[in-house]
Structure 1
Amino acid sequence: MFTGIIEATGKVEKIERRESNIDFWLSAPFAGELEIDQSVAHNGCCLTVVEVVNPFYKVTAIHETLAKTNLGCWDVGTEVNLERCLRFEGRLDGHIVQGHVDKTGVVDSIENRNGSYFITIKYDESAEYTTVPQGSITVNGISLTVAESGAGQFSVAIIPYTWAFTNMRNLEKGDVVNLEFDIIGKYVAKLLKKQNVIK
């Protein structure tokens, strides 16, 4: 489990394809602290550490993960948002994030609004995956508040710190991003669907 508060960014150093899976070697400031079997969110996608050679570590993305996320778009040199799993000994600063990417979206526009950034993202909306204004959404692993919500799209406002500290500053129109919708909203939608309130 995660909070959506990015701890650091890492860099893809090596990509090894093994049948339908891909092994990624990444460098990260905390690589030497990682242990095998530890969970780390990469652009919001939870992956298991399988090898550590400080300052590098390796994770494996299986076919299902590659099909649901933007990991298949990574190249050597790609900057990745990183968050280690939540410790239950402090404040929950973001929102409850599982590290299970629901689907991808596409950046439709990026506006610089006097130092903050307003990003609109389009996605294939369904009854299970929707947004509401001031609700929570995770984009590339970052816990964000929905500023505006429309049919098949939503917008978020990015403060300067988040822009500078994460890989959001590298986004361009047309880029694919990982999306994890609010877990409470997903449960509500599923219950309503079971009761035939929504289709």
Structure 2
Amino acid sequence: MFTGIITGQGRVAQCQRKGGDLALKIHAESLDMHDVALGDSIATNGVCLTVTRLEGSSYWADVSAETLAHTTLSQWQVGQQVNLEKALQPTSRLGGHLVSGHVDATGEVVAIWPDARSIRYRIKVLPELMRYIALKGSICVDGASLTVTGLDADEFELSIVPHTAQETIMASYQVGTQVNIEVDQIARYLERLIAPQNVQSEPKVSSLTETFLAEHGFMGRRR
């Protein structure tokens, strides 16, 4: 689990294609790596990656075909900057919102404009994803926990203050930039809990009958 509060930035050092998936090396120059061990999770542009090898201030991770299909990771190039966050500890402050690192889909930056000292971004997503996005609610974009400031049929807006722009890769976004989107987990689970069950399995008929028990010596035979 993560908070969506970016604690460092890194860059893609190597991308090695391996039998349909990917081995990725991230140089985490600004992330405190002293307590990172093999098997730990690091959110990399919002994608939960498991550390498979450590090399100084860099880490390696394997990326499955499933992750490549649903995130921007398949488009990453060597030298690209990424947002980083180590996994949440029980003693950590929950400054953002609970983030799993399991990306729902990608989105596209469609507009950018200044708003006093802040920067406004408009991001387009799949229409079916919009039902999980609420005005003033939380959303995770490339691993950063952000507040939704505007909504449309298939777009939402963000207002990014100077500190967030400085501490994340958002200042580098341009119109057309693809980003990883993770919606608020509460919205997903709430929908699942209250939605009618559209598919109901047929009740199973038990084969454990009195005749079966009698034939196998568990009770006297029926007369």
Give the TM-score taking structure 2 as reference length: 0.84
1:172 aligns with 2:174: yes
Q: Which moved more, 1:109-118 or 1:38-47?
A: 109-118
Q: Which moved more, 1:89-98 or 1:36-45?
A: 89-98
Q: Which moved more, 1:109-118 or 1:186-195?
A: 186-195
For the residue of structure 2 that corresponds to 1:51, the secondary structure is strand
Q: Which amino acid aligns with 1:67?
A: A
Q: Which amino acid aligns with 2:10?
A: G
Output the CA distance in 2 between the equivalents of 1:161 and 1:25. 27
**Contact 2:41–2:51 (Cα < 8 Å) also in 1:** yes
- State the Cα deviation string for residues 103-145 of structure 1 (Å, max 9, x = none): 1111111111122011010011216853111011000000001
**Contact 1:42–1:80 (Cα < 8 Å) also in 2:** yes
> Which residue does the alignment assign to 1:26?
26
> Which residue does the alignment assign to 2:13?
13
Q: For 1:105, which of 104, 107, 115 is the aligned residue?
A: 107
Task: Identify unmatched segments of 5+ residues in structure 2.
Answer: 199-223
**Contact 2:12–2:77 (Cα < 8 Å) also in 1:** yes
**Contact 1:128–1:186 (Cα < 8 Å) also in 2:** no
Task: Name the count of aligned residue pairs.
Answer: 196
**Contact 2:130–2:153 (Cα < 8 Å) also in 1:** no
Written as runs of structure 1 = structure 2, the 5 A alignment for 1:1-199 is 1-28=1-28, 29=30, 30-126=32-128, 129-194=131-196
Task: Identify unmatched segments of 5+ residues in structure 1.
Answer: none
Deviation of 1:195 after TM superposition, in Å, equals 5.7
Q: Which amino acid aligns with 1:140?
A: D
Higher strand share: 1
Deviation of 1:20 after TM superposition, in Å, equals 1.1
Q: Which amino acid aligns with 1:7?
A: T
Q: Percent identity, aligned pairs only?
A: 38
Larger Rg: 2
From the superposition, tell whether residues 152 and 128 of structure 1 become closer, same or farther in structure 2 (CA, over 3 Å): closer
Output the CA distance in 1 between the equivalents of 2:91 and 2:35. 18
Q: Which amino acid aligns with 1:39?
A: S
For the residue of structure 2 that corresponds to 1:88, the secondary structure is coil
C-alpha RMSD of matched pairs (Å)? 1.5
Output the CA distance in 2 between the equivalents of 1:60 and 1:149. 35
**Contact 2:130–2:154 (Cα < 8 Å) also in 1:** no
Q: Which moved more, 1:158-167 or 1:128-137?
A: 128-137
Deviation of 1:32 after TM superposition, in Å, equals 4.6
